[in-house]
Chain A
Amino acid sequence: MTKTVLDLVVNGESRSFAVEGHRSLLDALREEAGLTGTKKGCDVGDCGACTVILDGKPINACMILAVEAQGAQITTIEGLQASPDDLHPLQQAFMEHGASQCGFCTPGILIMAKHLLESNPLPTDEEIRFGLSGNICRCTGYTKIFDAIRTAGKRMAETGMALPATKVEA
């Protein structure tokens, strides 16, 4: 089968790998790039477990072909923290609040929440709920996820991690 060389910037690092034309970006990330933190819960765009940020926008990586992402900048869960010892405020808050149980939804929700908070660090409850409406969590009842996002948002606003200057349009 013919393969295309795909050049991406994943979590700030230039990567290239050969992928078949029918491969989804999700499969390319998980299998070619070895970034298995992004999960496959449905492969048809229904669950949000595969959420990554592509050129500033959150997308379901199962819903686009890898070749469509040619040249894109991608952030996955593995790129959320600045360094191995330095957890992102969202990761910290998810741990403190117990917002992750089985954890299968967690990478997708963290990425979606990062996108939400960077443009709006102090979201209303409605905004948080709406922001996560494409992410299924079956374990937590969402209560602790909402709490964690609020906590993280406050800290990001205080530390300037979510300045208006970094605002990304949805």
Chain B
Amino acid sequence: MTKQDFRIVGKSVKRDDVIEKVTGEGKYTGDYHMPGMLFGKIKRSEIAHAKIKSIDVSKALAYPGVKAVLTHHDVPRVLHYGSPHPRSASCTKDQYILDDRVRFWGEGVAAVAATSEEIADEALDLIEVEYEPLPGVYDIDTAQLPDAPLIHDVGPGGNLVIPPVHVERGDVDKGFAEADLILEGEFAGGRPTPTYMEPNVCVADWDGSNKLTFWTSTQTSFMVRGALAEVLGLPLNKVRVLVDHMGGGFGAKQDLFQHEFLCALLAKKCRRPVKMEFTRRETFVAGRSRHPFKLWLKQGFRKDGTLVAREMKVVFESGAYGSHSPGVTNVGTASATSLYRCDNVRLNGRAVYTNTPIAGAYRGYGVVQTYYALDIQMDEAAEKLGIDPAEMRLRNAVREGDIAPSGHPIIGHGLESCISHGVEAFNWAAKKGAPDRLVAGRPSARKGYGIGCEMHGSSAYPGIKEQGNATVKMNEDGSITLLTGAAGLGTGAHTALAQIVAEELGVTFSSVSVVHGDTDVVPWDIGAFASHTTYMVGTAAKMAAAELRARVLVRAAEKLQEKAENLEMVDGIITVTGKPGTSLTILEAMGPSRGIPAEHLIATGSYMPTKSYSFGAHFVEVEVDTETGIIECKKVMPVHDVGKIIHPIAAQGQVEGGVQQGIGHTLTENYVIDTSNGRSLNAGLVDYKMPLSMDMPDIETVLLEAAPDPGGPWGAKGIGEDPIIAIGPAIANAVYDAIGVRFHHYPITPEDVLNGLRAKQKDGANAGL
């Protein structure tokens, strides 16, 4: 199919789910209120590491309105993964629903169900917990000391979450021996959080047949079903998980949270529906963040800029539980095999437990950290070698056939296209070549320009062998229903899937409606993560639509007395090639006689993807105030190769939102834990500072179809995570361009800038921080 043949794919058709969002009619989990519903609350520890000596709940139980209290004595003691991929390589089994020990400040120690939220809250204060404090570990370095207090008995030893990940290719020592320039540096990053606008919430209800119905704001409803069933000892058909609209997740709502188990257990105990909703504070304390990290990177370059050797050691801070650390460590470490091609690499990745809140899955999954280092050092090398930073990246950009982080040869390499396109469109050469960095009318400010690059896989293969499914059925009036298990976390994925079905089947977009979010009804789905919904479920939907189309055409051929291969179907009208005037509508071909459909038309596509990579290059302009230290991101041009654009506006929206979060992580966002006692210092929307309407730069998104992937629908690849990755190093590099101070960490605060400027003045050189 050539480009101009697309009728629906590639157009920003109206997103059906958005009507419900703009009218306020869309139901989010917190909008469900049921008769007799109780409200659950969690008692959280006020100490970061301790054994629980005793818990006295008698006063809480006696409090009017309290219906049940659960402690570790009352819940099944099943070790679980805390994350809904029970049998995949990405998670560690190290959590109990409630334990006789707490491992971070804010961990749940008991749960209450009461007739109102206020009563439940008040009852929490009546629960008396006696702790026996244990020595705590609050940072990466301490966690790795030989005599560090141990946080878990499971795991490979020490405070390691998993055995270290080691990746080695080529001959690293030989590579360094051939290098004209060797750079070595240390990098680090804080603790950004996803801070989705909808706090975690769930509602549990059991019926008389001992079946649990569970509404929850999750990206992975089938995994929630699986983990709940496993821990509660139920068959899967006795757990029904429902999610309609959800207010963002950004990866973190892949975990199965403590409150979700507790909500189900409280509802069971009370025989009444129970709702549990996080406060905003709890979304920080009991939510999931990106992994803080420390990284050491050494690379060797030839005079012409060619990379010849790379050695990296990275340590990710997992917090009190493993959650996604195995996946993040594997993906983050392996990602450094690529982006900039290098035959000789030696990489070591670790994840360590600390007594801090749990780090989990978050958009950019380990790659944000490692590419931050890779791309800043690339800039340093370019300067040392006297090569333009964009040119330096072009010379080293990963190419067709290079071995990708997944271990597969790359099919389609979009990175060079992204860089070249951006260099032109951003007017890079002229901007970088400007004689000074002054800002008109702001004598204390300096301008700077920077570039950052990224690549990211659509799908979690090979870490997880994934499967995408879609069922498409035709109703007896010719309308189409698409059933998908993919979550609608706000990206517009359902619309993209409906477009794919309409395009492939040959019907109008408006004739396709989407059913989702009910594990009793829709085909199994692994969940919305790893930038894979459009890529993987899209291909499954296309397969199902193709099958349905073939069956429609067979029946139409009989009616028209033609060969099926001579028939075409467009917008639900079937025509015969070369015979204008002969046509049938779908309804005429398939319609019921006496109310009975001609054929029950239903088809399911099932697709197990391998891996495709999307690419991007971000170009940014910043202004740094040398008096206040404030960095403002003024302009961003993100250039992304997505293979094939299904819905341009939705794809742009992913990019713009990713840029927003990435700017935040790089400049202002850091969920701070007191390293003396593990307490949260800024668990709220005012103290955790995100870029908002006043802070956002102009974003001019460019989407390319440079390298379509054969595994995606018409070549489409993922775009969900990519935009959060390259923006960070692009900003750090632009700050250097503005003021000549290198930063190797994020967030880069005004204080860092002022200290850096002072150090630079003192040394008269480029002080690295």
Contacts and interface: CB of A to CB of B under 8 A. Distances in A.
Interface of A: 22, 30-31, 34-44, 46-47, 49, 76-78, 80-81, 87, 90-91, 94-95, 97-98, 100-107, 110, 128-130, 132-133, 135-146
B279 interface: yes
A15 to B, nearest CB: 16
A126 to B, nearest CB: 9
Contact of B195 (A37, A81, A130, A138): A138
Nearest to B12: A98
B198 A102 contact: yes
- Interface of A (DSSP majority class): loop
Given A37-B25, A104-B198, A133-B694, 14 more contacts: A36-B31, A37-B24, A41-B198, A46-B685, A80-B23, A87-B22, A97-B649, A98-B15, A98-B650, A106-B22, A139-B490, A141-B660, A141-B699, A146-B693
Interface stretch (B243-251, B392-400, B607-615, B702-710): B243-251
Contact of B30 (A40, A81, A101, A105): A40
A36 B690 CA distance: 26
Most B CB atoms within 10 A — which of A136, A139, A140?
Answer: A139
A138 to B, nearest CB: 5
Nearest to A125: B698
A98 B490 contact: no
Contact of A136 (B19, B24, B31, B692): B692
Interface in B19-44: 19-28, 30-31, 33
Contacts of B699: 141, 143
Interface string B594-637: 00000000000000000000000000000000000000000000
B656 A140 contact: yes
A144 B653 contact: yes
A101 B651 CA distance: 11
A46 B685 CA distance: 6
A47 B197 CA distance: 8
Interface of B: 12, 14-15, 17-28, 30-31, 33, 118, 194-199, 245-248, 250, 279-280, 489-492, 649-650, 652-653, 656-661, 684-686, 690, 692-694, 696, 699
Contacts, number: 174
A95 B547 CA distance: 32
B197 A136 contact: yes
Contacts of B684: 42, 44, 46
For the complex of A and B, the 6 pairs showing the least CB-CB separation, nearest first, are: A37-B24, A102-B490, A103-B21, A104-B247, A141-B656, A77-B24
A73 B19 CA distance: 26
B653 A104 contact: no
A141 B18 contact: no
A139 B653 contact: yes
A159 to B, nearest CB: 18
Contacts of A43: 279-280
B199 A41 contact: yes
Contact of B694 (A78, A87, A100, A130): A130
Nearest to B658: A141
A44 B199 CA distance: 13
Contact of B197 (A104, A129, A142): A104
A135 B692 CA distance: 8
Contact of B23 (A39, A81, A146): A81
Contacts of B491: 101
Given A138-B657, A141-B657, A143-B696, A102 B24 contact: no
Contacts of A101: 248, 490-492, 653, 657
Contacts of B17: 103
A49 to B, nearest CB: 6
Nearest to B201: A40
26 contacts: A30-B31, A35-B24, A44-B280, A44-B684, A76-B24, A80-B23, A80-B24, A95-B22, A98-B15, A101-B491, A102-B197, A102-B489, A103-B21, A103-B26, A103-B245, A103-B247, A104-B28, A104-B248, A130-B694, A133-B692, A136-B197, A136-B690, A139-B197, A140-B653, A141-B658, A142-B692
Given A41-B197, A95-B14, A144-B649, A132 B693 contact: yes
B693 A91 contact: no
B488 to A, nearest CB: 9
Contacts of A137: 197, 692-693
A140 B30 CA distance: 22
B653 A98 contact: yes
Contacts of A146: 693
B21 A98 contact: no
